[in-house]
């Protein structure tokens, strides 16, 4: 399984930064199931109204808040089999027996606004009960990117980090050699973008930046015709 790398942008200093071209090629990774306790309390998950478990969190039929979700059913004191997929029959997100707990925590869910299909089975006294099916709507997020690099009238370098997740902490770091990194900004996003200003950039001829957040891409940049041009984006 691949893991997302950091996003990078070159800040070679020019009197006027005239052009930025981004070519983004994202490769989404499948979800991972994390053991442990649910992140937040789920009302109604303590007991079931009947003998068969039902999905309670997130509420069925709703839009997911992001790509990091804990799916919880009411506790029927049983074993469960849970199937979560983006296409019926694809088994592409989660497909496994869930024993000794009534939830599963998934990361890197799709964020394309599509339909998420959930099927839940409950095993009671060795017998699988009636299958229950649910649907959710995936969150819709822009790919993470670093864009709009400019020099202010005071010589300070600034750029925008787009595609961040509101409510998530995003760390921006700088480097002179792509090996040693220093944090220059830590922000909790309130929207899908952040503006970053680096007053220390005036002390260097060339500097690289990367952003780490909920969903990250790797973007290597170069100088072309006196302008900063970000040319590739991948997830190694």
148 with 226, same domain? yes
193 with 207, same domain? yes
Residue 1 lies in a domain: no
Residue 24 makes CB contacts below 8 A (sequence gap 6+) with 143, 145, 217, 219, 233
For the beta sheet containing 7-10, the strands, ordered from the edge strand earlier in sequence to the opposite edge, are 7-10, 208-212, 169-175, 182-188
Residue 158 lies in a domain: yes
pLDDT of residue 190: 80
1 contacts 29 by C-beta, under 8 angstroms? yes
Q: Which two tokens stand for residue 122?
A: 């409950």
Residue 205 lies in a domain: yes
pLDDT of residue 70: 93
Residue 66 lies in a domain: yes
Q: How many CA atoms lie within 13 A of 138 on its CB side?
A: 22
* Local structure of 201: helix, strand or coil: helix
**Interatomic CA distance for residues 164 and 139, integer angstroms:** 13
pLDDT of residue 213: 60
**Interatomic CA distance for residues 215 and 108, integer angstroms:** 8
84 with 161, same domain? no
**Interatomic CA distance for residues 220 and 204, integer angstroms:** 19
Residue 116 lies in a domain: yes
167 with 130, same domain? no
**Interatomic CA distance for residues 50 and 44, integer angstroms:** 12
pLDDT of residue 222: 34
Final residue before a domain boundary, out of 137, 169, 194: 137
Compute φ and ψ for 201, nearest 5 degrees. Answer: -65, -25
217 with 155, same domain? yes
Q: Give the C-alpha distances (Å, rounded to integers) separating 179 from 29, 96, 124, 208, 214.
A: 25, 40, 55, 10, 22
Q: How many domains does the chain have?
A: 2
Final residue before a domain boundary, out of 137, 163, 189: 137
62 with 156, same domain? no
17 with 37, same domain? no
Name the pTM for this structure. 0.53
Final residue before a domain boundary, out of 137, 162, 186: 137
Q: From first to last of its 236 residues, what are the pLDDT tens digits of the chain?
A: 434 444 444 444 333 233 222 222 222 223 344 444 445 679 889 999 999 999 999 999 999 988 889 999 999 999 999 999 999 999 999 999 998 899 999 988 998 889 999 999 999 999 999 999 999 999 887 777 788 888 777 777 888 888 777 777 888 888 888 888 888 888 888 877 888 888 888 787 788 888 876 333 333 333 333 333 332 223 32
Residue 42 lies in a domain: yes
Residue whose structure tokens are 């709009």? 148
121 with 199, same domain? no
pLDDT of residue 179: 86
Given 3-state DSSP classes, what are the helix, strand and coil percentages for the chain, each rounded to the nearest 5? 0, 45, 55
Residue 85 lies in a domain: yes
150 with 97, same domain? no
pLDDT of residue 49: 92
pLDDT of residue 12: 42
22 with 80, same domain? no
Residue 76 lies in a domain: yes
CATH, residue 173: 2.60.40
144 contacts 162 by C-beta, under 8 angstroms? yes
183 with 147, same domain? yes
pLDDT of residue 48: 94
| Full residue range of the structural domain in which residue 130 is found | 32-137
155 with 174, same domain? yes
């Amino acid at each position: 399984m691949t893991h997302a790398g950091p996003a990078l942008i070159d800040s070679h200093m020019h009197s006027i930064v005239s052009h930025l071209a981004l070519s983004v090629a994202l490769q989404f990774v499948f979800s991972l199931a994390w053991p442990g306790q649910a992140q937040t309390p789920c009302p109604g998950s303590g007991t079931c109204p009947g003998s068969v478990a039902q999905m309670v969190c997130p509420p069925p039929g709703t839009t997911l808040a992001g790509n990091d979700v804990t799916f919880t059913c009411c506790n029927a004191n049983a074993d469960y089999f849970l199937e979560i997929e983006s296409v019926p029959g694809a088994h592409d997100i989660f497909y496994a027996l869930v024993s000794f707990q009534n939830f599963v925590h998934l990361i890197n869910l799709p964020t394309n606004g599509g339909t998420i299909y959930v099927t839940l089975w409950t095993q009671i006294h060795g017998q699988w009960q009636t299958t229950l099916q649910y649907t959710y709507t995936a969150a819709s997020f822009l790919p993470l990117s670093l864009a709009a690099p400019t020099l202010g009238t005071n010589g300070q370098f600034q750029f925008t980090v787009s595609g961040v997740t509101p409510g998530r902490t995003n760390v921006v770091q700088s480097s002179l050699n792509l090996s040693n990194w220093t944090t220059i900004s830590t922000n909790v996003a309130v929207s899908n973008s952040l503006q970053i200003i680096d007053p220390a950039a005036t002390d260097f001829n060339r500097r690289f930046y990367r952003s780490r957040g909920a969903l990250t891409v790797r973007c290597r940049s170069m100088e072309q015709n006196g302008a900063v041009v970000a040319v590739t984006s991948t997830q190694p």
